[in-house]
Structure 1
Amino acid sequence: MAFTERSAATRTAILSAARKLLIERGYEAMTIRAVASLVGVDPSMVMRYYGSKAGLFSAAVDVDLRLAEVDRPPADRLGELLVRHFLARWEGELSDDVLIMLLRSASTNPMAAERMREVFETQIAAFVARLTGADDAAYRAGLVSTQLLGLALTRYVLRFPPMADADVETLVRDLGPAVQHYLTGGDRT
């Protein structure tokens, strides 16, 4: 294996170990030493690639909501499509644990909260602006986020039985109209 291949493999292993610790035990337990120990490298190697615990955290929670993969449906189905996409992102073919870990961490960790704000601004608000062309797209994206993050919190973190037990189609049917209203409802005055 060439040097750059080994380097890439080590970087990937470090990120995987950091994510594992973040998901299982939280930010405080994701120390440079703990990550290095899981990977079987010297802590200086982790520092070489990521510079600090904050740098490692930032790389480990690099979230791509994959909104570019969302097809543009008829205007009256935007809410349904967005709910379906997020459910696929959380638990379907597009899922990973990073989003849920970030949601769990955001209420207690300032870096996680800042990362959530960045994801909102660079991905969700931009997506809603592209989708709707509304002058108040950031506000509408905020409303959409209250629904989707509330769903994620109750379904995946708190595991409220009605939400955790509901099937995807039921959630799409019941939440889609609310998200649709937030996306395309009347002007705010």
Structure 2
Amino acid sequence: MTNSEQGGRRSAEVTRAAILRAARDRFAAQGYERTTIRAVAGDAGIDPSMVMRYFGNKEQLFDAALAIDLRLPDLVDVRPQELAEVIVRHFLARWEGDPSDDALLVLLRSAVTNERAAERMNVIFGEQVAPVLAAALGPGAARRVGGLVAAQLLGLALTRYLLRLPAVAGLTADQVVATLTPAIRATLES
């Protein structure tokens, strides 16, 4: 018999997942400053003290909500002329592939107004994106173009998923790939 079958109690894993889901939804919709522990707890269907028990405080909850694995592919064996398309397709799939994983949206929305989120964005770039680009392009080229590639992809994310500009949000994934790939390719080759 599971915990939920014994009087309606949730397992620790289920409770933690519910809190993170509610926190990501709140942080994505309202940002860090306007999100409260009480609101997250209400969304998760638990007492606010449980949020504190699992995450300590709002700052630690925010850090947990921003734990992101970009699941970047190994680009070493990708032909140079295909590299830009592989990168664009991966990021589109990462943003659109799992609607329950909006940690990237939380991070993007928060990074423009919250120093902690901006630092987290830098860490993710440094630990996940930069090494993959360096392996594919060489360290010098990756340092030279990595930030500009990130700017293009984050610009796409901002206009497509946060601002939802009709001219960008209305495009199919294939249209985005066809339009953005040449720009990313030009940046990679600069």
The question of whether the paired residues in 2 share the 8 Å contact of 1:26 and 1:105 is answered with: yes
Question: Does the 8 A contact of 2:148 with 2:187 survive in 1?
Answer: yes
The aligned residue for residue 89 of structure 1 is 94
Indicate the RMSD between aligned Cα atoms, in angstroms.
2.4
Unaligned 5+ segments in structure 1 are none
TM-score normalised to structure 1 length: 0.85
Correspondence 1:160-171 to 2 at 5 A = 160-171=165-176
Using the TM superposition, name which of 80-89 and 18-27 deviates more: 18-27
* Unaligned runs of at least 5 residues, structure 2: 4-9
Is 2:163 the partner of 1:158? yes
Change (3 A) 1:73 1:136: closer
- Asked if the contact 2:74/2:132 (under 8 Å) is kept, the reply is no
Farther-moved stretch of structure 1 (40-49 vs 162-171):
40-49
2:34 aligns with one of 15, 29, 32? 29
Q: Which residue of 1 aligns with 2:24?
A: 19
Q: By how many angstroms is 1:41 displaced?
A: 3.0
Q: What is aligned with 1:128? A: 133
**AA partner of residue 60 (structure 2):** G
Name the TM-score, length of structure 2 as normaliser.
0.85
Q: How far did residue 81 of structure 1 move?
A: 0.8
Aligned mates of 1:47, 1:94 — CA distance in 2: 26
1:63 is matched with which residue? 68
Q: How many residues align?
A: 184
SS of the residue corresponding to residue 27 of structure 1 reads helix
* Identity percentage of aligned residues: 50
Shift of 1:44: 2.8
Secondary structure of the corresponding residue to residue 34 of structure 2? coil
Question: How many Å apart are 1:66 and its aligned residue?
Answer: 0.9
Distance in 1 between residues matched to 2:130 and 2:34, nearest whole Å:
32
Does 2:187 correspond to 1:182? Answer: yes
Helix, strand or coil at the partner of 1:123? helix
- Counterpart CA distance in 2 for 1:77 and 1:171 is 15
- For 1:113 and 1:138, how far apart are their aligned partners in 2? 19
2:178 maps to 173
